[in-house]
Structure 1
Amino acid sequence: MQRWIVLGALVLSLLGSGLMFGYWKVHQSRPDRQWVPIPFNPESTQEQRDKSVEDLRKALLTETVLTGIVRDCDITSKWKLESEQAAVEELKRRVIIEEGETVLRGIPTATLNIGFKGNVGEQSELKMLAERLIADVQRLVTQSAPPAPAPAPTPSPASTSTEPKF
């Protein structure tokens, strides 16, 4: 009788571990989206936001930008793609550049969401790709921003009197 109890416990433990592995495998293939929200100016209109999204989409979805992202993040080998061009096409298919809304400091705010979509198993790569794409966005924004005004000259303490000022 004890042999049957041990055998039943072994079968139940194997079934339980198989169920846990199956759940983990299904969970790894669920869809995932990783993006970085950039808040819009609160005074901007819907037309301005739509124009910003389209302008940024045109500027970021170029071959040079996407090739730089593929090389920096080594996507060809991580996703086991046959060439760099195939990786660029895959990134074009997965990119997210859209208007969204998020809560910042308790206030609903219109945002520009920039990132990539994939599955849960690729979450670390998706985060890395989104951060790398944001670096390109920052570079584009700083290039198109007007130059900062020159700082006001500070008065020099070149006093010729020897009397104390106190």
Structure 2
Amino acid sequence: MYELVLVLAFGVGAFRATKHREILSPIPRKISDRLGKLWEIAHQGMRENRLLRAEKALLTILKIDKKNAAAYNRLGILYAKQKEYKDAIDCFEIASSIEPTASSLHNLGLIYYETENYHNAATAFEKALGLESDMAARHIAYAKVQEKLGNSKLMIQELQKAIELEPNKES
């Protein structure tokens, strides 16, 4: 079940990261075109599981645009796929410091959960829920952390919120 939530969260994060790409208008046209090509390479590399290629493209994007939160978020997803959790945490923390989004904070929480750092996971999920509380997956992930922390009452409340958001048989 947790793996499904993890995959779903990374998918949502990836979708939102591509959807909310930074506006490149202040960057000269030539650099903007190069960034567009690098994003295509990164997306293709992720889709085709050519992770080294995707990583190089993302790192090149970050050399050009050091404050590109979407690139840090995508790089964090790439590192998480490779179980390089320390690097993933670094990327998600940087992305969140540049542009705090529910997606990057949720991804950060998932990695903290995976590394059994439940207090930091709870903090990340709380921040993500503060920005966007209408996704059942966020409440479920937060409930799992509360279970690990021994907060049964809060766990049940979060699961009830998830059921309210997605009242289907699987809930």
Fold similarity call, TM over 0.5: no
Higher strand proportion: 1
- Higher normalized contact order (CA 8 Å, seq sep 6+, divided by chain length): 1
Q: TM-score, normalised by structure 1?
A: 0.30
User: Which structure is higher in helix share?
Assistant: 2
